[in-house]
Amino acid sequence: MTPHVTSPTLAAVKDADRKHVFHSWSAQALIDPLAVAGAEGSYFWDYDGKRFLDFSSQLVNTNIGHQHPKVVAAIQEQAGRLCTLAPGFAVDVRSEAARLIAERTPGDLDKIFFTNGGAEAVENAVRMARLHTGRQKVLSTYRSYHGATAAAINLTGDPRRWPSDTAAAGVVHFWGPYLYRSAFHATTEAEECARALAHLADTIAFEGPQTIAAIILESVPGTAGIMTPPPGYLAGVRELCDRHGIVFILDEVMAGFGRTGKWFAADHWDVTPDLITFAKGVNSGYVPLGGVAISAAIAETFATRPYPGGLTYSGHPLACAAAVATINVMEEEGIVEHAAHLGENVIGPALAEIAERHPSVGEVRGLGTFWALELVRDKATREPLVPYNAAGADNAPMAEFAAACKASGLWPFVNMNRTHVVPPCTISEAEAKEGLALLDEALTVADRHTV
């Protein structure tokens, strides 16, 4: 469609933003946010009418695209009927959202605790695990992101943890599998799996298994680089948890609800954790919603013992209405299957060809509509295109690449030396090919920085 630009004016929006909005993860005086006038489907546009193909799904959450009419209508209808009600009441739309989610979780994860987003889901999953086991330590990987709240940011492995890291939150980090940059000197997926599991087993042994409440993993690490686990790894973690009475938490905040071509990424490896955290794709972020899917055993812990946690907006009716509509739309329109098809037949093959053409592409990995390209200065040595956690001049090659994408009308998801290909799961084949062609062209900018 042709973007319809309406008031307020660009100048007014920018002026109010700069005067009053305090932006996350940003040095406030150094940013110049794009003012967005509207969005639909796989695109959004600015006040000058310039369209951007959203290859980031915002923050990898608009799985059904922007402004899906059925979900917008469901929110409007719910607002006209019942805007809000406290969590202690039984509400039809809240119950239905919980039922639909529980029907799609693996195993016996049939109880749903609602939150307002992914970080809160992680906070509550950790609390449940600690209370269920009577233990305090939680293990997580270095290459991970679990949120920005107190426990979640300490669990996070990437550098965003550093300014808030108390070093005393009962968190122990370990190395997960990542064959391209193996911490275990592995040369095959089988070796990487076996050595990563041995490393985790050693970590458990030296930390004291009787002190460990939970191990939390992203089923497929997202912001950290979309490293799909080698066959057998998640099952191996499950076995270690069972052996030592440790709660296994899978963070599906980014990978869940169709993103990988399954309802949950864990389904690719037939693994059932004790707790699943979710958010983002559950209603494509149309209204803030997250939650924890809880196994029967952990739910039983709180059958006669009050769970000491809650949120004013837990299971908010508007958010739950959006979730019900989103899940129904995903079923009716075959969106999960479409994401799988795109990954197998469109995005995956195209990215493999792109990698062959560009000296800056060291590795392509992913599934469904969840992919990453690792950019390098030298394919032979695998030296990253920019150093770890680069900023300023050190990050110039990635900044130039991102700018080239945006100039062409492609909005990328860039983190460190990677660009992620994470469009809406509803993107058409034609739109996906359009975006891939723009990405192909922008990578010539990255190629200039190779050796």
Peptide linkage before 8 cis (omega within 30 of 0): yes
Cα separation, 440 vs 353, whole angstroms? 10
Q: Does the pLDDT at position 3 exceed 60?
A: no
CATH of 70-332, one of 1.10.260.40, 3.40.640.10, 3.40.50.720, 3.30.43.10: 3.40.640.10
Task: Answer for the pair 143, 225: CB distance below 8 angstroms, yes or no.
Answer: yes
User: What mean pLDDT is predicted for residues 17-22?
Assistant: 97
Specify the DSSP element, H or E, that contains 27.
none
Q: What percent of the chain clears pLDDT 70, i.e. is strictly above it?
A: 98
Tell me the torsion sign for CA atoms 178, 180, 186, 192.
positive
In tens, the pLDDT along 141-158 reads 999 999 999 999 999 999
167 — pLDDT class (breaks 50, 70, 90): confident
206 — pLDDT class (breaks 50, 70, 90): very high
SS3 (DSSP) at 375: strand
Tokens of 167: 């070093």
Asked whether this chain's domains 10-67+334-447 and 70-332 adopt the same fold, the reply is no
Count of CB atoms situated within 10 Å of the CB of 82: 13
- Check if CATH label 2.60.120.260 holds for domain 10-67+334-447: no
What residue spans define the domains of the chain?
A: 10-67+334-447, 70-332
